[in-house]
Amino acid sequence: MTCFVTQIDGIAPPDVEEVPLLTTCVDENSAKIYSLLGEVERFFLGINIQDGQVSIKVPFSAIFDEKDIVFDETTSRQITIISGGRRRRLTSSIGVKQVLIVRVSSDQEPETSVTSSEEQLYTDFFTDENNLREVYRKCSNDKLILNPATGSSVHNGVLTIKPPENICAMGWKDVGNYAVAEIASLDWSADFKTIIMPDCVNFEGAAAWGETPGDTTWILSKYSSYPVTQVHEFGHNLSHRHSGKGTSEYGDDTGYMGNKASWTDAGSKMCFNGAKLWYFQWYSDFHRSVNPNTISYAGKLVGITDVQSGEIATDSENDVIIRLFGEAEQLFVIFNRSESFNSQVAEGDRVTITEQANEYSVSMLKASLGEGEEYITADGSVIKNCGISYGSPYVANVIIYKPGFTSAVCSDDFSSSFTTTTSSGTSVSASTSNSDINESSVSSDVNSICSDVPYWHDSDGPAFNCAWYGAKSDRCELFGSSYSNMGFTAQTACCKCKQK
């Protein structure tokens, strides 16, 4: 059997501290999920399994009880990692996708039924004011549209199947595998599926689970109508992990990848933090990368709501997300505008700073800056909210610099030009530093020595970085002009490909 190694993240209900990250494997033919048990960490030591692009070949002798793959001294020698070339493509977070809602319910028996009817689930996921479809449509600037699944077996995106007789004695993975097998012969078409189960099923303390990355989520009946579970778990499918704050992996209340949104059918009017928004790539026309060691930043940040409303044009001098690189911590800075579909977000109308090491990491909210407040990074750089311009739209005036290397000062009038200073002592106008300086110009520097764009990888994930492209002579030619990410392809980001 060949299966794709993936991880499954859950969301803990408000009264549960957190639930563990699970490592599983999905059969490429049957889509059945197997738990990975035993010496899993040791087997995958040095292998990045977070991006969901690692597959393994497993002999049947290593499969126990038809549901677990156990790694021990004997089986580990029989299981092999399949590598080489591009493996499965990750699902893009841009485009039109279909979602199937699988309702595992015997409506005549209350204990083994899903409370919401097919019609109600259709409303809760696709048509009411705040739901899976609407949150992603609005928050993505209309770049990700989730529509109901189609097919003769489906009613408005929902499909009901009869549960197994002993469902209340089963765990959610077993019920999920049963559901996948049951719908295999039915007529439906979808990119993703959400499996909803009766509340008697053992969910191991979670309200819901989601493949990270993958195409399947599982939700308990009593939480199925809540945007907090729908949006959160679908975010895991798109490869995002949790958003934390302080000591809590779920503590970030500025985005749906925490668990602090309202646990109700109405949900919360909010989106995602700066790190998640950056990697979703929905606002890539308004991304800015800054290395405070090389050049400072002085510019204007606007909220995502003003981009979505059309108030901000792509050729404006405004930014939405700033990423700091060249630092010990990779930070993302946004103006957390509180209005419209983001009107109930915590830390509203403040400049928020989030740390996330890479695309597949947990993020942590580091700071929330009111007017005049500043944050000192681990490397000594300064991020300061110089003040809010309360016009239409609201604009946060921000400076970023590293004392002793670069400098910037708050201006009394942010509409006028002022200067920032590079590490070489060169003065540039604020409009130049905000609009025209990007990774490629910083990388070139005054010495004209080629450097790879820091932290760049292509759209397939961190494994496909400049080192990967340079490892084989034909990769730049075959893939170098495709798989754009962060505004670059390998041909524009990697020195090896530039030299081809």
Indicate the domain borders of the chain: 2-82, 95-268, 275-437, 446-500
Task: Indicate if the pLDDT at residue 459 is higher than 90.
Answer: no
450 with 457: CB under 8 angstroms? no
pLDDT given at position 499 = 82
pLDDT given at position 49 = 87
Longest CA pairwise span in the chain (Å): 77
pLDDT given at position 422 = 55
Count CB-CB contacts under 10 A for residue 285.
16
User: Whole-prediction pTM value?
Assistant: 0.85
Task: Indicate if the pLDDT at residue 415 is higher than 60.
Answer: no
Pull the structure tokens for residue 50. Answer: 């977070």
CA distance 369 to 400: 13
Question: Among 86-90, 151-155, 156-160, 237-241, which stretch is predicted with the lowest mean pLDDT?
Answer: 86-90
Q: Strand, helix or coil at 89?
A: coil
The pLDDT tens digits for 365-384 are: 999 999 999 999 999 999 99
Q: Which residues contact 452 (CB under 8 A, 6 or more apart)?
A: 443, 466, 493, 494, 495
Residue scoring higher pLDDT (422 or 133): 133
Q: Strand, helix or coil at 232?
A: helix
pLDDT given at position 442 = 36
Task: Indicate if the pLDDT at residue 263 is higher than 80.
Answer: yes
CATH of domain 95-268: 3.40.390
High-pLDDT (> 70) share of the chain, %:
90
Pull the structure tokens for residue 146. Answer: 């989730």
The pLDDT tens digits for 6-58 are: 999 999 998 887 899 999 999 989 999 999 999 999 999 988 888 788 899 99
Confidence of residue 92 (pLDDT cuts 50, 70, 90): confident
CA distances to 90, 232, 427 from 217, in Å: 16, 10, 52
Q: Strand, helix or coil at 442?
A: helix
Instruction: Please give the torsion angle defined by the CA atoms of residues 7, 12, 17 and 19, in that order, rounded to the nearest 10 degrees.
Output: -20
- Burial group, residue 86, by CB count within 10 angstroms (0-12, 13-18, 19+): middle
